[in-house]
Structure 1
Amino acid sequence: MQLHFTTLIFFFFLISQLKFPSALASFDQITNCAKGKRIALFLDYDGTLSPIVDNPDCAFMSDNMRAAVKKVAEYFPTAIISGRSRDKVYEFVGLSELYYAGSHGMDIIGPPRQSNSDNHPDCIRSSDQQVVEVNLFQPAAEFLPMINEVRGLLKECIKDIEGATVENNKFCVSVHYRNVDEESWQIVGQHVYDILKEYPRLRVTHGRKVLEVRPVIDWDKGKAVTFLLESLGLNNCDDVLAIYVGDDRTDEDAFKVLREVNKGCGILVSPAPKESNAIYSLRDPCEVMEFLTSLAVWKSSIQAR
């Protein structure tokens, strides 16, 4: 039985490599496409830069991963696009030179402004905690009171379900049931949907053992990528290669955008094959770190010539 299971896993791995070849094995192909182009890098957080863990408050990235992200950001504009709150992602990553898009791209902030070229007409200028001017974009700001109200209701209704937690992601609310007994999963879901019956301007999406309550607006990670490319002045250029690395269903919107506009490639982070709009794959955060390190080394060697 064990041999049969191992053979099956290997078979599925071969299928995934045919459909979504490894970004490491295809690294030369990717860098050949990147020659003469400006790269913009977009990264999911959970499951991409950090492992998926039982306690979402403990999804720390390693020092080596942080160093890899910091290094690659020296060469390319780099953004973290996550379902988490922007503040929480920044707390985990701690690199001020990056762009951060929290709440699935509904809360975007750029690094401290270096020049007027880093701008977008829909941004508002704000100041961070050090009173450094930054660009801020929040397309769902009007929903914040409603989100806060629903978060309170959700916390109250699941408080007696062991293992269930409610996470404040500012413009989204995440209800985690990873640590809930499987027999109670349906109960968690029923509570969420019952509450949202009174809030037609909010919707539920499904992630990895998590239900996410989000505003009903035409905005997702794909829109966030487009917005950031526009902010960088790269959206209407032919010499751009955008690379998006992510593992979640919500990353598919970004993969799809890059595929449709033929402006880059998506890299799916997954140990097993699954349907995706990505072009390449990486198996886990360790391979993501290796890919980012290789990308920085490649760019450094190009500049040294």
Structure 2
Amino acid sequence: MKNQNVVVPDAKQGIDITIAMALSKSLFSPVVPKPLPAAPGGYFTITRKRFTKKTETGGKINSWVDSMRDSSPSRVKSTTPLSETEDKNSWIVNHPSALNMFEQIVNRSKGKQIVMFLDYDGTLSPIVEDPDRAFMTSEMREALRDVARHFPTAIVTGRCRDKVHSFVRLTGLYYAGSHGMDIKGPSKNSCKYKKGYQGVFFQPASEFLPMIDEVYNVMLERTKSIPGAKVENNKFCVSVHFRCVEEKMWAKLVEQVRSILNDYPKLRLTQGRKVLEIRPTIKWDKGKALEFLLESLGYANSTDALPVYIGDDRTDEDAFKVLRNRGQGLGILVSKVPKETNASYSLQEPTEVKDFLRRLVEWKRSSLQGPCRV
């Protein structure tokens, strides 16, 4: 693919245009990738051929249903077994609260530029039954706005970029929609950082747009018989929300999705929190988006930055893993229950994310470094 849709408005702003060229060399797989086992806390990837083969025996359908069940909120129990409490305490030791460890976190940032990355659903907004009503609170918006005044800030989400922008309504941020397949930076008139450039525009999967639209329309028709199923067109991926679907109907939903994918070998099926997602088979995810944005900001190989990524979804594990492998930055998982994760710290819910962001702003203000305008 010759044109990766990268726009650099002004070369003098300091980014080497070879970033995009280097990315393009390894972006697309020559064939549909072989299925990988589920990484700790990550998503599952399955090829059409092997998916069909295992579905014939019902094994793979059951596997997906089990995975869907695991992603559902835990049911309230009248008593908590001692072993479960012990497991949770052990998990907290290994993934302590980012609020309790706040001083340790900011001490790691001394002499470095904090760069903030945040998921949207379940992180900045609560998980709700209707994804079109996943609104963030005014208090969260205020906290996010203040963070963006002090730190380069990006929202990395599986949602359509325009949809999330309509929820957030802040101009001084980077927005990476469709799991990072649709990236756009702030305009020149927004907050300017010491490094990097504004106005970045990157869409590594633009050739898939007609196919995604086609699959979305087919999916709408095929899922009409499943009460509660909601299909969302997130521009470079199709999301099938099952949060309102009765558990007894999950197997039928997976089978419908599978039957559609049989005709589209260039697409793959992954799973997030209460959602099945159909994406292009390119080597691109939230981890790749994080690396691209760090490159865009001039911090790719710099020891002067501390990337902080906060997310709650399986797909955020790609970004957590990148930070762990780089040995630079830290991941914060938003979860009330223990999960396998590559994150270093935890927060329980969006209200704690808001509190963490507020404390970060207060700490920055106390350092007497003036804010810039968002």
- Asked if TM exceeds 0.5, the reply is yes
2:110 pairs with one of 21, 24, 35: 35
User: Against the structure 1 CA distance between its residues 3 and 54, is the aligned structure 2 distance closer, same or farther, given a 3 Å change threshold?
Assistant: closer
Residue 231 of structure 2: SS of its match in structure 1? strand
Q: How far apart, in 2, do the equivalents of 1:63 and 1:6 lie?
A: 38
Question: Aligned residue for 2:33?
Answer: none
Question: Aligned residue for 1:262?
Answer: 327
Q: How far apart, in 1, do the equivalents of 2:147 and 2:268 lie?
A: 36
Q: Is 1:56 aligned to residue 131 of structure 2?
A: yes
- Code of the residue aligned with 1:249 in structure 2: it is R
Question: Aligned residue for 1:128?
Answer: none
Q: How does 1:4-83 map to 2 (within 5 A)?
A: 4-5=79-80, 10-83=85-158
Q: Is 1:154 aligned to residue 229 of structure 2?
A: no
Q: Is 1:215 aligned to residue 280 of structure 2?
A: yes
Q: Deviations over 1:233-270 (max 9, x none)?
A: 11111111000000000000000001111110000000
Q: How far apart, in 2, do the equivalents of 1:150 and 1:284 lie?
A: 33
Q: How far apart, in 2, do the equivalents of 1:242 and 1:283 lie?
A: 20
Q: How does 1:216-295 map to 2 (within 5 A)?
A: 216-295=281-360
- Code of the residue aligned with 1:194 in structure 2: it is S
2:160 pairs with one of 66, 71, 85: 85
Q: Higher strand proportion, which one?
A: 1
Q: How does 1:99-114 map to 2 (within 5 A)?
A: 99-114=174-189
Q: Which moved more, 1:14-23 or 1:53-62?
A: 14-23
- Code of the residue aligned with 2:285 in structure 1: it is D
**Higher-RCO chain (CA-CA 8 Å, sequence separation at least 6):** 2
Q: Deviations over 1:200-221 (max 9, x none)?
A: 1100101122110000000000
Could you tell me how far 1:113 is from its partner in structure 2?
2.2
Q: How does 1:62-211 map to 2 (within 5 A)?
A: 62-114=137-189, 118-119=196-197, 134-211=199-276
- Code of the residue aligned with 2:328 in structure 1: it is K
Question: Aligned residue for 2:18?
Answer: none
- Code of the residue aligned with 1:65 in structure 2: it is M
Gaps in structure 1 of 5+ consecutive residues: 120-132
Cα pair 1:12 1:272 within 8 Å, conserved: no
- Code of the residue aligned with 1:159 in structure 2: it is K
Could you tell me how far 1:303 is from its partner in structure 2?
2.0
Identity over the aligned pairs, expressed in percent?
A: 56
Could you tell me how far 1:9 is from its partner in structure 2?
5.7
Question: Aligned residue for 1:130?
Answer: none
Gaps in structure 2 of 5+ consecutive residues: 1-75
Q: How far apart, in 1, do the equivalents of 2:213 and 2:328 lie?
A: 37
Could you tell me how far 1:7 is from its partner in structure 2?
5.3
Q: How far apart, in 1, do the equivalents of 2:133 and 2:321 lie?
A: 30
Q: How far apart, in 2, do the equivalents of 1:98 and 1:136 lie?
A: 13
Q: How far apart, in 2, do the equivalents of 1:14 and 1:61 lie?
A: 30
Aligned length: 292
Q: Which moved more, 1:288-297 or 1:108-117?
A: 108-117
User: Against the structure 1 CA distance between its residues 188 and 9, is the aligned structure 2 distance closer, same or farther, given a 3 Å change threshold?
Assistant: same
Q: Deviations over 1:92-128 (max 9, x none)?
A: 1000101000000000000112579644xxxxxxxxx
- Code of the residue aligned with 2:186 in structure 1: it is P
Q: Deviations over 1:20-68 (max 9, x none)?
A: 0110111010011001101100000000001111110111100000000
User: Against the structure 1 CA distance between its residues 191 and 40, is the aligned structure 2 distance closer, same or farther, given a 3 Å change threshold?
Assistant: same
Could you tell me how far 1:12 is from its partner in structure 2?
3.9
Q: How far apart, in 2, do the equivalents of 1:145 and 1:2 lie?
A: 46
- Code of the residue aligned with 1:36 in structure 2: it is G
User: What TM-score does the superposition give when structure 1 sets the normalisation length?
Assistant: 0.92
